[in-house]
Structure 1
Amino acid sequence: MSTTRIGAVAAAAGVVLALASCGGGGITNSGSGGGGDTKGDIILGMATPLSGSSAAIGPYMKNGAQLAVNEINDKGGVLGRKLKLVVEDEACDPKTAAAAAAKLVTEGTMVSVGGYCSSATLPTLSIFGKANIPMIIPAANSNDLLKGNNKNVFLLNGTGAQQAQAAVDFMKKSGAKAVALVDDNTSYSKDITTRTAEDAKGDASLKIATQQSVTAGESDYSAAVTAIMRANSDFVYWTGYYQEGGLIIKQLKAAGYKGKIMVADGSVDKQLITIAGQDNAQGVYATMTQTPQTIPGGDGWIAKYKAAFNADPGPYSTQSYDAVRVAAEAIKNAGSTDGTKVIKALEDINGFKIFSGNLKFTPEHTLTEGGFDILVVKGDQFVLNK
């Protein structure tokens, strides 16, 4: 863990303690979230970026979750009770996310269905865990989220390990010889580059020419670009988010880079194309779990989303939709909102249909089905690479 991250997590812990001491309460094993209330709405809490550099993702997740809430409520709810979605901003920032999680606990969250940035989700694990609140995480997927063996944590997205393997497989298939790995030094991004480098060691024809870590939020990435060019890299894999990814692509192209470029799932958004420039972004590949536009037969769901919100769905809208559905299924099967009973029901789910396949969690609470596709930029959008 970097000094920056240690400081951020420590600051986040301070925010949580401050909220608790100011009457926030609830951050205990007997908190309202895990207590199995039998009256009123069933509250689902979502922490998602509504501000900051990844703010474009928040509405996709919020709307996807709300669509599922509306559909379930229209059919009578769960256990005779209505679902209610409560959303707080995590801003892809550990301190902000910790404050958001503490607030969601005090607001009576019974199941958490949020989590986009892994580095921001990490400090929320202990907050929801102490309140005995199950977490169904639709987007954040760093393997660091699994290190604490937190029984309440379930990942509804493919893991960083799975994404790294998909990346290496595509590098080999595309004939890459000298790969540049570039991350933003956050948990999510660094996890993927580290695992990609390890997986690449198994193939003598694939060389990691250079590994670069950049600082998120900057505008000049010429040092990384120069290192990539000097290493004669013919393949660049960026594992951070779209704001910096777009700039790196733009600056690589300006420097005369002619090789292939691929980004990880945190950069799969139209904003990447806008920032890079549409001409520069053409042919950029991506490792990504399903999006509404890449799901076979997904047109009907897209139409429902657009009718409800007068907007197109985007990345992680389907995973957030499924997170609510999985939460409702577990509560129904548990016959209760008690955290311990819901966690057991989540572990016992076997074959529940979600967008990525038939849901069954591994003993580590990751997906047994559903992996990463390779997308490519064509025009102003990411499409399946065929």
Structure 2
Amino acid sequence: MSINEGCRRLWRLAFLFTIAAACIGGDKARADDLPLGICQSTAQGPAKFSTALWKGAEIAISEINAQGGVNGRKLKPVPVDVGNNDPAQARLSLNKAIDVDKIVTLVCWGTNVMVQNGPLIDEADIAAFTTSSGTGVVKASKLTQQLEAVTTLYCKVSAKHVKAQYPDVKTFAVLYVNYEFGIEMRDKCADEFGKLGITLVASEGHPNAPPDLRAQVTKLLEAKPDAIYLAPIGGGTVALGIRTARELGFDGLLVTYGAGDTPDIYNLKVAEKNFFFVGNEVPETAPDVVKQTTATYGGYTPFGYEYVWLAAKLIKEAGGSEISGKKLIAKLREEGDIQTPVNRYIFKADGNTSRPLAIFTIANGGRKLERILSASEIE
């Protein structure tokens, strides 16, 4: 072998060694981080939630990392794109987040997204939190825990408030997004309102993120309901439902759930009369930055903050280098009653959660608190 050939071989070996070292260093850098999956979307409705969720998570991540991270490791947010609440898109994004980004926990919404991907979460051994209100979500995954109130509780609180504060309301209609979540919300509200003598007289479904709701609302109004319950997935669709109902001459009561807790609704003048929503209060004792960010981005901000806070707490308490979703969720449910910097949660063994809810109206470009209900009151 010539001297030149030998040199070339040495250079090739040195190059390969350099690449290998870089790869090993890259793996080490990734291993030193704690990647937290946070569902995101640019679609009309989910975008409102995902932005607020991300902003809240950023606050907690900044606070925790500034204090040295968790067990010496820095938290790193990882976006998980769920499209327009599309289970197939979510599956692709989840696979990447699990296999490439190596997420150790997840927060996500969307009843269909979470139900259809529940087995994937369990198989990957990821501790997941959900802001979906669907009752079937935790049944589809042993490693998923609710942060949000489920449809039954939302409808129960709404029905009791209508009965107490709007005694003239005897009938109602439901405008709902036409898939698992919306159908469940329609049926649960029919049950809960019906128990109090308020009868469902009409219901109309619509596709996800519809450009227009005039046809559906017109059909509802033919039944002459005293109130309309709005059960879209939120964002612009709730605002569209309110505007459409008012434009078509309906001046009765409009009601919705946490999907109405967005700046779209705060700035809607026609929502300042005969409208309320049931959402999640940020108490005075919460960090100022959380309260301020919630006022700007909406009620899903605290979910992002509390998700990161809970994930950090569980990982720290679990200790060790191996992070198991089974271990984290078991610890969460064993502890059960947890006070975060924002809210008190009672995490149940079946994946459901008791948490406070609040009733809001709209005034002066913001939400106006009418009443807070404790977890025990709601149960």
User: TM-score with structure 1 length normalisation?
Assistant: 0.80
Aligned with 2:352: secondary structure?
coil
Aligned partners of 1:47 and 1:101 also within 8 Å: no
Map 1:76-87 to 2 at 5 A: 76-87=68-79
Instruction: Give the partner amino acid of 1:363.
Output: A
Deviation at 1:281, TM superposition (A): 5.1
Map 1:208-357 to 2 at 5 A: 208-240=200-232, 241-272=234-265, 277-279=268-270, 282-290=273-281, 292=282, 295-298=283-286, 300-302=288-290, 305=293, 312-336=296-320, 337-354=323-340, 357=343
Change over 3 Å in CA distance of 1:53–1:367 after alignment to 2: closer
Worse-superposed segment, 225-234 or 347-356: 347-356
Change over 3 Å in CA distance of 1:53–1:378 after alignment to 2: same
Aligned with 1:208: secondary structure?
strand
Aligned partners of 1:183 and 1:238 also within 8 Å: yes
Distance in 2, matches of 1:100 and 1:188, equals 21
Aligned partners of 2:175 and 2:230 also within 8 Å: yes
Distance in 2, matches of 1:81 and 1:366, equals 30
Distance in 2, matches of 1:201 and 1:345, equals 39
Percent of aligned pairs with the same amino acid: 19
Larger Rg belongs to = 2
Q: State the Cα deviation string for residues 50-109 of structure 1 (Å, max 9, x = none).
A: 344331322211121121112112222222222211112212222222221111102343
Change over 3 Å in CA distance of 1:356–1:193 after alignment to 2: farther
Aligned with 2:137: secondary structure?
helix
Query: Is the counterpart of residue 73 in structure 1 residue 65 in structure 2?
Result: yes
Deviation at 1:305, TM superposition (A): 5.0
Query: Is the counterpart of residue 151 in structure 1 residue 130 in structure 2?
Result: no
Distance in 2, matches of 1:211 and 1:51, equals 25
Give structure 1 regions of 4+ aligned residues with deviation exceeding 6 angstroms: none
2:173 to 166, 180, 184: 180
Query: Is the counterpart of residue 366 in structure 1 residue 352 in structure 2?
Result: yes
User: TM-score with structure 2 length normalisation?
Assistant: 0.81
Deviation at 1:195, TM superposition (A): 0.7
The equivalent of 1:34 in structure 2 is none
2:122 to 125, 129, 134: 129
Unpaired runs of at least 5, structure 1: 1-37
Distance in 1, matches of 2:217 and 2:192, equals 24
Deviation at 1:177, TM superposition (A): 0.6
Change over 3 Å in CA distance of 1:258–1:39 after alignment to 2: closer
Aligned partners of 2:127 and 2:324 also within 8 Å: no
Change over 3 Å in CA distance of 1:298–1:99 after alignment to 2: same
Aligned with 1:145: secondary structure?
coil
1:170 to 161, 164, 174: 161
Length, aligned pairs only: 337
Instruction: Give the partner amino acid of 1:179.
Output: F
Distance in 2, matches of 1:162 and 1:44, equals 29
Aligned partners of 2:45 and 2:237 also within 8 Å: no
Distance in 2, matches of 1:165 and 1:183, equals 17
Instruction: Give the partner amino acid of 1:160.
Output: T
Instruction: Give the partner amino acid of 1:334.
Output: A
Aligned with 2:129: secondary structure?
strand
The equivalent of 1:115 in structure 2 is 108
Instruction: Give the partner amino acid of 1:68.
Output: A
Aligned partners of 1:49 and 1:116 also within 8 Å: no
Instruction: Give the partner amino acid of 1:317.
Output: T
Change over 3 Å in CA distance of 1:224–1:355 after alignment to 2: farther
Distance in 1, matches of 2:97 and 2:225, equals 46
Aligned with 1:72: secondary structure?
helix
Q: State the Cα deviation string for residues 174-204 of structure 1 (Å, max 9, x = none).
A: 222111112112322222221111122323x
Q: State the Cα deviation string for residues 271-329 of structure 1 (Å, max 9, x = none).
A: 2455xx52355442112122x4xx234472347759xxxx9342211111111111111
Change over 3 Å in CA distance of 1:314–1:255 after alignment to 2: closer
Change over 3 Å in CA distance of 1:136–1:188 after alignment to 2: same
Change over 3 Å in CA distance of 1:229–1:349 after alignment to 2: same
Instruction: Give the partner amino acid of 1:347.
Output: R
The equivalent of 1:25 in structure 2 is none
The equivalent of 1:44 in structure 2 is 36
